[in-house]
A and B are shown apart, each in its own frame.
Chain A
């Protein structure tokens, strides 16, 4: 069996349609992607860095692909309200595979550019040509598949020295009335000494259909740039997501990537950070709250290619019921990179004996004068703390919720967007109480009480 074949065949049959509807810059990478997929196979469960996840099974489902870019009706802004409102963000929507701009969104906010690839390919031809597909690795078959089938995406550009006043929020919604796979794609270029905060929220509106979001995000942070990228998923048990985020950091840049999963079906998040300039700082954070049959797998790779850089990585999981979590993190310090500081942590709470966590921390260091550490722990709720709370009259379920919330509190506090931080504390509280909108159709332990 080869799940990729159905999509490659589809491409080969409809190649003209793909190419005619896409800008040239996408087509150039597309041809290369096709070559990479010639003998490619999706990773099976048990292969290196896929100890818990079987991508072959994920892609084997017969998903529809919107080759001819048929429009889906209805502006999602009218029917959908994101759980992270009122943040004074510049708001953009994508429903399924198409972008909508809502009333609050403009193509250019100040000097910040937010455009679909179809427009950016003309407006910013050189930037698109220089950066599109440069960081993403076609050796990864899911990235190659995205590059093969993608027809549009969002280009965000912050010119040198420009500080985006308002955060940019992208709300991605699945609401098609059929099983569907989409290739979401972002290219974010932040110029020298420029700054921007971005929030991507993945939602699923129709709980009855199988969706697969196979996304690729490329982020370039030029010298002195500051970039926050928050990536939050609040989807349904039938929603699958394979996401690969590539980051390139130049001298003195400061990048924060934060992946948050509140509800989902199957998720594999890959983070790949290349730190190429001195004095760059990297924060890589992750928070997963999973119950029922949720599956959340993260793979991180930070490559320190320059001296005197600092990276800090912390991933926390709270797993209940039959949820499966996985974390494989690697820090590489290349030769001749003295004074690098790199810390990695993965802390996990299994609230039920049936929940499973796989964890694999790795350090690979080729320079002597560095400070690096990694730590991984899997534990249960603190029985003493639970009893202490109960003697104060706090019921066992409420006490468990408070402890689980407390466990992830420091990851939420790492958020550098105050409105989002407050909102996340609130959403996490609702998530543990089982009263999040996506909890409505779910019957897992978090809402039994």
Chain B
């Protein structure tokens, strides 16, 4: 579904991604790991179309479409979702209004009628249960005054509502206690199917105990320098990144 070829991107003239190659197929879970500053969050930002970054080379195909040519909202309609590392607070915009607008914009994109109020609320109720999101939070402003754990659960709730084909979870485990981690992970697993795929960006093996990856990639200095099965994550947990850094740096 997703084919990334030699993707290069920069922010304010600083080159961050220096040629990423990655292919993701339906049903797969990919973990992207790597030391701080290696470009993990930049990759998710570029894929979702954050205007702060400039693509300087390469291509990204999503179900055969040129993803980079689409606006962020159209990428979402086509089935791309990003769970933010730092979900944004939007005071004054209620979760209900936010979600209803998002869903109806998607329906409009596909030429469908807007959801009725009753159907929408029913859907909200169903999906809220997946991540045990309190009804009180759903009636508040987007992420405003939410705790770290509530914000991350809210991200997965939105993912459940929008039913994306490809979800990128950017450090969804950061700032979560063990219980919240379990709830978020089980939410992600519930939503998993043979038709959708997940890219998990994380520093730690811990999350991968709950969300089992099929592939683990190591991102370093803007490139994927190593790809292997789930056993790589365990090895990294034990040995750290230094051996990979040395290996890559000595080749240069």
A residues near B (Cβ < 8 Å) are: 382-385, 387-396, 398, 402-403, 405-407, 409-410
| A407-B82 contact given A396-B71, A396-B73, CB 8 Å threshold | no
How many positions in chain B have a CB within 8 Å of any CB in the partner chain?
A: 32
Q: A391-B48, A391-B81, A394-B102 are in contact. Are A406 and B90 (CB under 8 A)?
A: yes
The reply to whether A392 and B102 form a contact with Cβ atoms under 8 Å apart is yes
Residue pairs across A and B with CB atoms within 8 Å: the count is: 77
Verify if B228 is at the interface (C-beta below 8 Å from A).
no
Q: Which B residue's beta carbon lies closest to that of A429?
A: B97
How far is A402 from B102 in the complex, measured between Cα atoms in Å? 11
Q: A325–B124 Cα gap in the complex (Å)? A: 40
Give chain B residues whose Cβ lies under 8 Å from the Cβ of A388. Answer: 84, 87-88, 90
Contact surface of B with A, Cβ cutoff 8 Å: 48-52, 71-73, 75-77, 81-82, 84, 87-93, 97-98, 101-103, 105-106, 109, 141, 158, 162
Inter-chain CA distance A385–B81, complex, in Å, is 16
The answer to whether B158 and A392 have CB atoms under 8 Å apart is yes
Q: Are B92 and A394 in contact (CB under 8 A)?
A: no
A372 to B81, CA, bound (A): 47
Q: How far is the CA of A402 from the CA of B88 in the complex (A)?
A: 15
Whole-angstrom distance between the Cβ of B43 and the nearest chain A Cβ: 14
Which of A385, A388, A409 gathers most chain B CB within 10 Å?
Answer: A388
B51, B141, B162: the one within 8 Å of A392 (CB): B162
Q: 9 shortest A-B CB distances, which residue pairs?
A: A406-B92, A393-B76, A390-B72, A388-B88, A392-B102, A409-B92, A406-B93, A390-B73, A393-B106
Cα A387 to Cα B97 with chains together (Å): 17
Give Cα distance in the complex from A174 to B188, angstroms: 60
Closest to A390 in B: B72
A428 to chain B, nearest CB (A): 11
A393 touches B93 (CB 8 A): no
Residues of B within 8 A of A394 (CB): 73, 98, 101-102, 105
**A408 to B: closest C-beta gap in Å:** 8
In chain A, what residue has the closest Cβ to B164?
A: A393
How many Å lie between the Cα of A395 and that of B105 in the bound state? Answer: 7
Nearest-CB distance from B62 to chain A (Å)? 14
Q: Are B102 and A387 in contact (CB under 8 A)?
A: no
Q: A385-B88, A398-B105, A402-B98 are in contact. Are A391 and B93 (CB under 8 A)?
A: no
